[in-house]
Chain A
Amino acid sequence: EADIYQTPRYLVIGTGKKITLECSQTMGHDKMYWYQQDPGMELHLIHYSYGVNSTEKGDLSSESTVSRIRTEHFPLTLESARPSHTSQYLCASSDPRGGTSTDTQYFGPGTRLTVL
């Protein structure tokens, strides 16, 4: 079982609220990712990071932002939530520091967000 954690697991909030989804990993991985997934559907990469102070937008346009101040922590923030943000958000990490890069990704359990 991979050591990657996401909180909260479920979140229901009203439109316009600012929220932060937390993601932490204890595997010493350099790379971290955020995906958006509607239940049972395909994954869409929204943000990724190669390491501390490195963040990039993914393939899917997103109104969220991320930060990577510490290796183990990769929070995602929505400044003003809208019903269109309702989805599942999956965090993942890969590649131990100093190890051979294969990009095998280890996923957290996900946060299911509902914006009313």
Chain B
Amino acid sequence: AQSVAQPEDQVNVAEGNPLTVKCTYSVSGNPYLFWYVQYPNRGLQFLLKYITGDNLVKGSYGFEAEFNKSQTSFHLKKPSALVSDSALYFCAVRVGTGGFKTIFGAGTRLFVKA
């Protein structure tokens, strides 16, 4: 079955420290992988995506994600966390082109403490 998992409900990190939000997937074919962020009382915002090419993808607000095909992972990272990064992060995966199926993970809440 196709799925995407975010194993941590919550991640806590101190401001200035590096952060990682984990995502693993299980799909057939070549996945399109996405990260979205949701700030309080807001809709989701697109952060970054992996379609093909370089395994390290850079996105908005200094975030990056690394696609690891052998581990079927797409972890979100940032070298130095900010308090303003505190939000709900969703990993999503879509397979193929033209057709419709995007699966969202359950979300990981990131708390960055000053």
Contacts and interface: CB of A to CB of B under 8 A. Distances in A.
A12 interface: no
A109 B46 contact: no
Contacts of A102: 32, 49, 51
B84 interface: no
Interface stretch (A13-21, A38-46, A62-70, A75-83): A38-46
Given A40-B109, A102-B32, A104-B49, A110 B100 contact: no
A103 B102 contact: yes
B100 A48 contact: yes
B46 A50 contact: no
Interface string B72-114: 0000000000000000101010100110101011110100000
Nearest to A112: B41
B100 A50 contact: yes
> Most B CB atoms within 10 A — which of A31, A40, A48?
A40
> Most A CB atoms within 10 A — which of B32, B43, B44, B49?
B43
B7 to A, nearest CB: 14
Contact of B43 (A40, A103, A109): A109
Contact of A104 (B46, B98, B105): B46
A74 interface: no
A86 interface: no
Nearest to A59: B103
B67 interface: no
Contacts of B3: none
Interface of A: 2, 6, 31, 40-43, 45, 48, 50, 90, 92, 101-110
Interface of B: 32, 34, 36, 42-46, 49, 51, 88, 90, 92, 94, 97-98, 100, 102, 104-107, 109
13 contacts: A40-B107, A42-B90, A43-B44, A90-B44, A92-B44, A102-B51, A103-B94, A103-B102, A104-B49, A106-B46, A107-B36, A109-B42, A110-B42
